[in-house]
């Protein structure tokens, strides 16, 4: 389980950290999912987070049972418009 938290900083770098952690896990063959809906206070208590820090997300990681696949990509002409909408 990866835990992402921040202390007195802008949220943007935190979002980058989440992305980097997921990419690093993927490079190691791990699957991840970003969880943001949980009891933040209870989780911070369990983790012993000191005051002034805020838990942003939990990222469970593990080796997948099967290989996943990406969804079919839309054609670029379906969402790019030139001169008209």
Domain ranges of the chain: 2-65
Q: What is the CATH number of domain 2-65?
A: 3.40.109.10
- 81: which 2 tokens? 């418009």
pLDDT in tens, 28-58: 999 999 998 999 889 989 989 888 888 888 8
13: DSSP letter: H
From CA 22, how far away is CA 35, in angstroms rounded?
12
Decide: pTM greater than 0.75: no
Angle, CA 24 vertex, CA 20 and CA 25 arms, to 5°: 120
């Amino acid at each position: 389980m990866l835990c992402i938290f921040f202390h007195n900083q802008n949220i943007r770098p935190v979002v980058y950290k989440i992305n980097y952690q997921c990419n690093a896990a993927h490079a190691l063959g791990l699957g991840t999912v970003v969880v943001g809906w949980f009891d933040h206070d209870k989780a911070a208590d369990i983790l012993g987070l000191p005051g002034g820090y805020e838990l942003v997300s939990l990222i469970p990681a593990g080796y997948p049972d099967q290989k996943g696949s990406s969804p079919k990509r839309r054609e670029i002409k379906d969402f790019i418009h030139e001169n008209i909408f």
